[in-house]
Structure 1
Amino acid sequence: MKALTIRQPWAGAIAHQTKRVENRTWKLPAKHHGARILIHAGAQPDRHAQVHGEHLDVYSAVVAVATITGCHFDNGNQVCCSYWAQPNLYHWELADVVALSKPVPAKGALGFWTPTDDVLAAVQWRSRNSREGL
């Protein structure tokens, strides 16, 4: 299983709100389509973000598990798939999001990365306590 680091407040919005699209400058690699991934809150917040609320102050931790169900490019010509979608970017569609009962501390990385066995075990245990996560 791979993980994807996302800055706050966006990781928290995926885990605990309605954000079901991740905006990226790069197209989703085909091998990750349909994959179950860990959502990791990065060490630094997005300083341009203006989203506020609970669960958005967790950093350097896995906060949820999700499935990537699709990817498309938004050329900015029309309103796209989601309130959260930004124009002129790739939109990675997320589904079956399960927030962890408690975040799992972990060091992230750019792009997709492989969590340690300890992190995976903690995520599996906490996602079971949240509901069926893995």
Structure 2
Amino acid sequence: MRTAPLPEGDWIRGISIRQPWTAAVLTGDKAVENRPRPWKPGWVLLHASKSIDQAALRLPLVARAIRGRQLPTGAVVGVARITDCHQDPAGADLCSPWAHRGAFHLVLADVQELPLPIPARGQLGPWKPSPDLVTRVFQQLPDIHP
């Protein structure tokens, strides 16, 4: 059971990511998430969307990262901290093999996978999780002190 109280207020958001990309983030291999708009730094719940990107399952980079992993969907599966959000300059090398040209790159750190996925609904863009969901997530991660 959690001993340290969680912060109050608007300190955490949810980010919905399709599988297998979510699993690649949880392995630590994919430390960059691509988005069409910038996001603020801070903590996020990692939510695996209900759909699976079937084409991504055939990419060697993805296949190596997720080999043997389960691909839960429709659930919060972990937490991470966005430490930076940037776009790579035109003509420059991409910051990561996971980065897409023209996208905003959310740099993820302190990624922690939940022992048990928590069924939840996500949405496009940053979303505000309920206090109950946040409590349930951090009960599984008692050593994380955001």
- Shorter chain as denominator, the TM-score bin is 0.7 to 0.9
Percent of aligned pairs with the same residue?
A: 37
Q: RMSD in angstroms over aligned alpha carbons?
A: 1.7
Give structure 1 regions of 4+ aligned residues with deviation exceeding 3 angstroms: none
In 2, Cα distance between the equivalents of 1:78 and 1:122?
A: 42
Query: What are the Cα deviations for residues 55-98 of structure 1, in whole angstroms up to 9, with x where unaligned?
Result: 35110111111111111113452322112111121111111111
d(CA) in 1 for partners of 2:130 and 2:29? Answer: 28
Runs of 5+ consecutive residues of structure 1 not aligned to the other structure = none
**Residues 119 and 38 (structure 1), Cα distance of their counterparts in 2 relative to 1, 3 Å cut:** same
Residue 10 (structure 1) aligned to one of 17, 21, 44: 21
Relative to the length of structure 1, the TM-score reads 0.85
- Specify the structure having the higher radius of gyration (Cα): 2
8 Å Cα contact 2:32/2:99 also seen in 1: yes
User: Aligned AA for 2:31?
Assistant: R
Q: Aligned in 2, Cα 1:106/1:96: closer, same or farther, shift over 3 Å? A: same
Q: How high is the TM-score relative to the length of structure 2?
A: 0.79
Alignment of 1:132 with 2:144, yes or no, is yes
8 A contact 2:138–2:144 mirrored in 1: no
Matched length:
128
Q: Note the residue ranges of structure 2 that are not aligned, 5 or more in a row.
A: 1-11
